[in-house]
Chain A
Amino acid sequence: MVVKNFQLTLKHAIHGIEVTRLYPEVIMDLPAAERGIHQLDVRTCIGCGACARICPNSCIEQVSYKYGNPLKNKKMKFPQIDYGRCMFCGLCVDDCPTGCLTMTREFQIAGWNRNDIIFGPDDIAVGKYSDEEAAKLAEEARIAAEEKKKKKAAAAKAKKAKAEAAKKGDEGSGEKKKEE
């Protein structure tokens, strides 16, 4: 009886199949769909906050961060993820309009303190700009913003002028009408 019960064990023991995944040294192959730690492409994030709104655990907060792309992200707000609360559900990734937030196969996090596991944009960012690039982009953004402002101002002026003209025209016509 006993021998029979050990048959299975013996059979497998002889085959010598190794099953242990030798974790700290070897990390097993994970599928592409794996939902691990997030990755943020700061160059394309537009800071819309859709990820923060959909998150069921409200663990995403939009914080300021300077190595992003100010041309796209006007307020320079990027998501910060509290891994002490994130449940890796992937809803934020599904909802990101530009696809800049993705989930990687990396999963190893552990912290000695609660604050260690709150990952700011810097910890999850890829494609960070260097200082000079950031400065340059900021400059560009400033110029663009100014131009836009100018344009806006010009547009506003034009509009105003138009409106005034129209008004005048109206008045004129009114007068005309009156005259008639």
Chain B
Amino acid sequence: MGISDVVPIPVVIDEELEKWTVWGRPLTNIWLTTTEKIHEIIDMGPIKNILNWGRKNSLWFLMQPMGCCGVEMLVFGCPHYDCDRFGIIPRATPRQADVLIISGYITRKYLPAIKNLWGQMLEPKWVIAIGECAISGGPFYDSYNIINNTSDFFPIDVYVPGCPPRPEQFIKGFRELQEKIKRREDERGY
């Protein structure tokens, strides 16, 4: 389909236009665009950088205390560490969150639940593993009920060691994630 189908112009112009390219792609592709194409274009161009700049500065996380690290997560949102400074805001529902913080031990019984939480989060989304348990099972690495390698189940972007990590470490983890998003090296490739 060419432009001459839509606008009454000579076919010659249409043929001429098809030779033009923008960022190595035929101009007509952009012209007669679909959502998919918009995404393709965004993915390659600097628009993505602008989007990612927005994303990285408004990382809302799911308030989902699971273990001891959950306590530090509360403190992380409170005045002493004030995560709002970085655009990091706690949310109570997965539908509004961008970042899943795995803040403790994942057991066999909890795995389906947390996997569903992850499934309910809207794209784009990232995972941060906070604490030993979320990374490797930590102190409970040899328990019969603990999933000891979380990265098999979640595309973990940043590993933050500590048991529990200090609230500063949470900020550090988020800043690493921001860096990763900025450089477009995150696991899921946004």
Contact = CB atoms under 8 A, between A and B. Distances in A.
- Whether chain A touches chain B in the assembled complex (some CB pair under 8 Å): yes
Interface of A: 19-21, 23-24, 27-28, 56-57, 82-89, 107-114, 116-117
Contact of B139 (A57, A84, A109): A57
Contacts of A87: 132, 138-139, 163
Given A57-B139, A110-B172, A19 B159 contact: no
Contact of A107 (B81, B162, B185): B162
Contacts of B175: 24
A168 B72 CA distance: 78
A23 B161 contact: no
Interface of A is mostly: loop
A20 B135 contact: no
Nearest to A34: B166
B151 interface: yes
Contacts of A83: 161
Contact of A112 (B79, B136, B158, B168): B158
A89 B135 CA distance: 17
Contacts of B139: 56-57, 87
A23 B132 contact: no
A107 B159 contact: no
Interface string B64-85: 0000000000000001111001
Interface in B127-178: 132, 135-139, 141, 151, 157-163, 165-169, 171-173, 175-176
Nearest to B156: A114
Given A19-B80, A23-B81, A114-B151, A88 B162 contact: yes
Contact of A111 (B138, B158, B165): B158
